[in-house]
Structures are given as structure tokens and as C-alpha cells.
Amino acid sequence: MLQSSPIPGPRRKIVIASPRTFRCLNCNEMINDSMTQCRYCSATIDPVAAQLVAERQEKAKQAYSDASYLRTAVIAMFVFLGISFIPFVKVLGWGFVITFFVVLVLLVRWMMKCGRLVTNDADYLRARRSWRLSLVLWIVAIPIGFIIRPLVYLAFELATR
């Protein structure tokens, strides 16, 4: 016979909110949003403005992280594309096709999620530049991967007959 142990009173989950960081609007030093006064320049900090700026800073960091994943996917796409030109490794052409569509999804996702963010954060500006470069490389991959590569396959097939 199985007995269940009595469940103690209601369990409470303890959540400790960690303060988010942002740059002081006066001296541009990094401070957290729980401060009421900047420890560097002693400027008074409005808590509502601090929350908004910290949230924007957090979104900028996320945009940079997502752009980094996008950049890695673009590199993988071109590696698969380059390897797929080797005559006996044609199966890796599917790797190019798969990463091509993954990059498309990541490009659209980044633009929908982070494209309208208004900030002067250097990381966000680098992320936006990285997104643009990834878009250009994705566009360049279209003719290489879907026109030139099949023509090279066809030429190789005709040459080996």
C-alpha cells in the first residue's frame, strides 16, 4: 500500500530581481536601474526613465546576440556552399539549402524583433551592421547556390560521360 506524503503549506517561489544596467544619461558610465543617484557624477536618476533605458539596453544586448547567431549561420551557409562545389561531396549541397532557409528565417526574425529599436548603443549599431552584411551575403548566395552550382554540376556530369 502506497501512502502519499502530506503536502506542506503553499510553496512560494522566491524570485530575486537582478538590477539591469544602463548608461547614465549625464556621464555615460554603466549603472544599474535600482540606483537613485549616479555613483560617478551624482546625477539624480528618475526610476521610470531608468527602467525604460535599462529595458532598451537589454533589448540592444539581445539584438547583438541574435545578430551573432545570424552571422554564424551565414558563415555555415557559405561553408556548405563551398564544399558542395567539390564533385564527390554533392550531398552537402543540402546543407547549403537548409542553412539558406535558416538564414532567411533568422533575418526576418531579427528584423521583426529588433529592427525598430531606437538606441545609440554601440552594440546595437554593430548588430544592425552585421544584419545588413548578412542580408547582402544571403542575396549573393542566391545566384551562386541556385544558378551557378547546378550549372557546375551539369558541366561536370557532361564532362564525365
User: What per-residue confidence (pLDDT) applies to 3?
Assistant: 54
Nearest-5° angle of CA 37, CA 40, CA 46?
A: 25
User: What per-residue confidence (pLDDT) applies to 52?
Assistant: 84
Tell me the average pLDDT across 36-45.
90
Confidence of residue 12 (pLDDT cuts 50, 70, 90): low
Distance CA(51)–CA(57), nearest Å, equals 10
Phi, psi (deg, nearest 5) at residue 22: -160, 170
User: What per-residue confidence (pLDDT) applies to 16?
Assistant: 53
pTM of structure: 0.76
